[in-house]
Amino acid sequence: MYKDSTARDLHLESSNPGPESNGGSATETPSRNNVTTMPENPKPENEQSAQANAVNAPARKENEPNMSEDFASVLENFEAEQIAEAAAQPTDDHNVIKGTVINITPTHVVVDIGNKTDGMVPIAQATDRDGNVKFKPGDSIDVMLDRGEREEGYILLSHEKASKLKVWDDIEKAYNEKSAITGHVTERVKGGLNVEIHGVKAFLPGSQVDSKPVRNLDAYKGQDIEVRIVKLNKKRGNVVVSRKEILDEVNAGKKEETLKHLEEGAVLTGTVKNLTEYGAFVDLGGLDGLLHITDMSWGRLTHPRDLVHVGDEIHVKVLKFDKEKQRVSLGFKQLSPDPWVDAAERYPVGAHVKGRVLSVTDYGAFIELEQGIEGLVHVSEMSWSKRTKHPSKLVQTGTEVEAVVLNVNPTERRISLGLKQLETNPWESLHNKYPVGATVEGRVRNLTDFGAFIEIEDGIDGLVHVSNMSWTKRIKHPSEVMKKGDKITAQILAIEPENRRLSLGIKQLQPDVWETFFATHRIGDVVHGKVLRTAAFGAFVEISEGIEGLCHNSEATDETGKPMKLEAGFEHDFKIVKMTPEEKKIGLSIRAVGEEASRQEVEDYKQQKKAKPEKEHKGSGSSSSPASSSSSSTTTLGEMLKWKTEEKEENK
């Protein structure tokens, strides 16, 4: 701030006043050690005036009041000269001065701008986003003059204006040269992002953020990114930038290099770029390839994230490359041997293996034996019991289980496993425990249209068919004689261990009424019966409890040969005309009963006729003649009808 030695003396004198001056009224300024000169533009008139004032100053010490007034006037003139000189310098709002930081105070940064001149920059203009001062004493700083502004005797400088002016120059240069420039993403706005380039706000459209559409623009907030200025209006302060153009150029270069080495079967290194439900997109260097989920592992994956994550660098094998469409199919599992190649040798049938339960379904459970090898335990192979439970009741996901290999099919990549084979098959020893004909007790577990399932022990169920429930009753449904939960006594009828079948019977515990009937009746016997039901071909007749016979329509005629109409509830005598014990069938006839009656009547008439002459002979005492004897042995139809008529009249 000092133009020459005279002015410096004036300042020293004002800074060290005598006792008589009471400290003076001049403004104090901080001292500095580092002074950087600028080209001077001396003003002779001002220097002469200052020297004249300095020569006259000692003479005024004899008169103190006048001396103080003269000193204030000189200082005021000196400061005016400084402002005038600074204003006369070739600086304006568009000129940037490079100064040096000489001191930092809580409110300002003191800067030497040369030509023995210091200025002050507000501290707010010299701090970063976190509030930390960006400069220290000795650092270079760009400033501009705030014309006519002073603070505490110092020229007020603006680092902000200088920075903006320099930034605009850099922005304009980058725009003209189409070069990249670094910006800081400050916030998300409608349609894109706001990017700050050294204090200048620029707009980054959402479509220009990346080479591919970006769903989450908020993820870029707070990041420093390289952009290219695509539109510039300095007067309005509008700046539009693009990150996509830079990325496209970089990717184009990488793509060209990648295509030189890209061929089917090649092993490349790439970076996982994106994950979907069906796979992962891998950046091979300017070109993306699809790693499908089925080509990630020889084993089962529920989602690609089970194996890889975005940003992972992985080795992949090129499975297919379409040069025209530039589509690349990649594989990861192909880098390791297929575990199914020798699965049959490593997992022979009958071997006991251990594995982890991967999943449980309605039809079974999948067991992972090793990476890429899974086996299925079907629900039917989980327990010897026919009482099927849901697989989740027997095994749980994530647990380790032991199983037996039942079948291996490397071609279809399938292994069948069993759990029940680890236990003894109870059906194999069932014959010894329950021989045919033995009586057992059990509880009714289930009823069906054809019978009832009886549980005789845990896991062993037997079937009582409806035909084996009663000798005498025609049972249409087992609910007619039992209900679920009833305790039943039955007889073992048959055992089929290979089919896991057990036949039971209830009626076998009672005597067989059919056997009794066939043992006590013969063909020709006349029995009394009641019609139960009719059919187109005849009527079914109950001739004993539980015993039915069939009377065909041709056998249902009266004594005159006229057909009889049989209806349910009709009772009559029937003659047994046919018996088939093995089929439990009995043939009945009404017509045969009439014929039998007619023969009996003839025999009765003959006996009566024969007895009458004998009585007459005894009364007369003489023997009968041959003629009468001959006539008694022969009976005519007329005589028979006459005898029947007389018998009816006598009965009246």
Tell me the pTM: 0.40
Per-residue pLDDT of 570-619, as tens digits, reads 888 899 999 988 888 899 998 888 776 555 555 665 666 666 555 555 55
When mean pLDDT is compared over 114-118, 163-167, 192-196, 369-373, the highest value belongs to 192-196
Q: Go through the domains of the chain in sequence order and give each one's CATH number.
A: 5-88 (no CATH), 178-247 (2.40.50.140), 262-335 (2.40.50.140), 343-422 (2.40.50.140), 430-509 (2.40.50.140), 511-619+636-645 (2.40.50.140)
Q: Which helix (H) or strand (E) covers residue 245, if one does?
A: helix 244-261
Helix (H, G, I), strand (E, B) or coil at 172: helix
How confident is the model over 34-59, as a mean pLDDT?
A: 41
> Structure tokens of 648?
């009816």
Query: In the chain, what is the greatest distance between 2 CA atoms, to the nearest angstrom?
Result: 223
pLDDT digits (tens, 9 = 90+) for 447-506: 999 999 998 887 788 999 998 888 777 788 999 889 998 998 999 999 888 888 889 998
pLDDT score at 497: 84
* Count of C-beta atoms within a 10 Å radius of residue 22: 10
Q: Which residue has the higher pLDDT, 89 or 324?
A: 324
Cα gap 28→292, rounded to integer Å: 78
Q: What DSSP element (H or E) covers 345?
A: helix 343-346
Residue 541 has pLDDT above 80, yes or no: yes
What pLDDT is recorded for position 512?
75
In this prediction, residues 510-522 reach a mean pLDDT of 83
- The per-residue pLDDT for 405 is 94
The pLDDT, as a whole number, for residue 633 is 45
Residue 14's nearest CA partner among 2, 1, 29, 26 is 26
Three-state helix/strand/coil letters over 570-591 = CEEEEEEEEEECCCCEEEEECH
Amino acid letter, residue 452: A
pLDDT digit string, tens, across residues 160-179: 788 777 888 888 888 998 89
* 283-295 pLDDT, tens digit each: 888 788 999 998 8
The mean pLDDT of 88-112, rounded to a whole number, is 78
Six-digit token pair at 641?
């009808």
Does residue 384 or residue 463 have the better pLDDT? Answer: 463
* Strand spans (E) along 243-372: 267-275, 279-283, 288-292, 313-322, 327-331, 352-361, 364-370
pLDDT average, residue stretch 546-566 = 86
- The string of pLDDT tens digits covering residues 323-369 is 888 889 999 988 888 888 888 889 999 999 999 998 999 999 999 99
Q: With 70 as the cut, is the pLDDT of residue 219 above it?
A: yes
> Greater confidence, 425 or 574?
574
Dihedral over Cα of 207, 209, 212, 216: its sign: negative
pLDDT at 140 over 80: yes
Indicate the average pLDDT of the chain.
Answer: 78
